[in-house]
Amino acid sequence: MQSVDLNCDCGESFGVYEMGDDAAMLAIVTSANVACGFHAGDPEVMATTFRIAKENGVAVGAHPGFPDLWGFGRRRLPFSPREIERLVAYQIGAAQALAAYAGHRITHVKPHGALSNIAMEDHDVARAIARAVRAVDPDLAFLAVTRSALEQAGVAERLTVVSEIFADRAYTECGLLLPRTQDGAVLHDPEAVATRVLAMVTEGALIAVTGQRIPVSIQSICVHGDTPNAVAMARAVRRRLEAAGIALKPFAGV
């Protein structure tokens, strides 16, 4: 039976500020990428998220981003590759500590927001992130956007690379994400998203905004936890895939 992972970015609340419905998402997805306190999250949120994930049999990973609480990590900040390498290593360590505290363990790393967007095209930044993962724990999987410099960097650094697509983001004909500043970049209709995801998984291809198919490896599907209807979207995607006989399971052991 064909299987695929369904992941979400979560643990992105901070102090009294709430972002997303983590408890509901963690009852649907099979893997979770947990914010490490730089773009979002804090020790209380991290520990709680890891605990709930463990209770639901959900694999967890570190979700490092730029130190940018005000911009939710979606602003491009002028850090050098070496500085990025240390920022990522720091956040992986924080995630490992809080996961252990909650009785769970980190299985993977996935960069967040602007850091990920830069690394999708900038090979120096992508290698810096991959080097940080390898230096902290070479056994961690590297969850990387398919067809990106991140994917290539993970291979070059001899990491276990897991290729992902985004359920709720539009793609250009080059296989890159349509910038959020452009209309239609973020998708909102759960049923339309589920139909599109099923087509991409069964065809093994990205579907660009023009309808063009771009052959890729798809091992994981991401639903962003901060979108207003994220829970409905994740539920629709899971239901549609399972109805088609595709099993949902984490790419790493829990």
Note whether residue 227 is domain-resident. yes
CATH number at residue 45: 3.20.20.370
Give the total number of structural domains in the chain.
1
pLDDT at 253: 72
Note whether residue 163 is domain-resident. yes
Tell how far CA 35 is from the center of its chain: 10
- Cα angle 171, 19, 198 (rounded to 5 degrees) comes to 35
pLDDT at 144: 97
pLDDT at 123 over 90: yes
Q: Report yes or no: 164 and 7 within 8 Å, Cβ to Cβ.
A: yes
Proportion of the chain above pLDDT 90, given as a percent = 93
Note whether residue 253 is domain-resident. no
The stretch 234-251 carries a mean pLDDT of: 97
The stretch 58-72 carries a mean pLDDT of: 97
Give every CB contact of residue 236 below 8 A, 6+ residues apart in sequence: 190, 191, 193, 194
Predicted confidence (pLDDT) per residue in 198-216, tens digit:
999 999 999 999 999 999 9
Give every CB contact of residue 116 below 8 A, 6+ residues apart in sequence: 65, 110, 145, 150
Q: Cα separation of 152 and 235, whole Å?
A: 31
Note whether residue 103 is domain-resident. yes
Predicted confidence (pLDDT) per residue in 170-192, tens digit:
999 988 889 888 988 999 999 99
What 8-state DSSP symbol labels residue 73?
A: T
* E-only strand ranges, the chain: 3-10, 31-35, 59-63, 106-109, 141-145, 160-166, 205-207, 213-215, 220-224, 247-248
Note whether residue 254 is domain-resident. no
Determine the structural domain holding residue 76 and report its residue range: 3-248
Residue 225: which pLDDT band, with cuts at 50, 70 and 90? confident
> Residue 36: which of 124, 120, 99 has the closest Cα?
99
pTM of the model: 0.96
Return phi, psi of residue 214, to 5°: -125, 110
pLDDT at 252 over 90: no
Beta strand pairing call for 59-63 and 106-109: parallel
20 is written with which tokens? 């997303």
Give the sign of the dihedral formed by CA 94, CA 23, CA 151, CA 246: positive
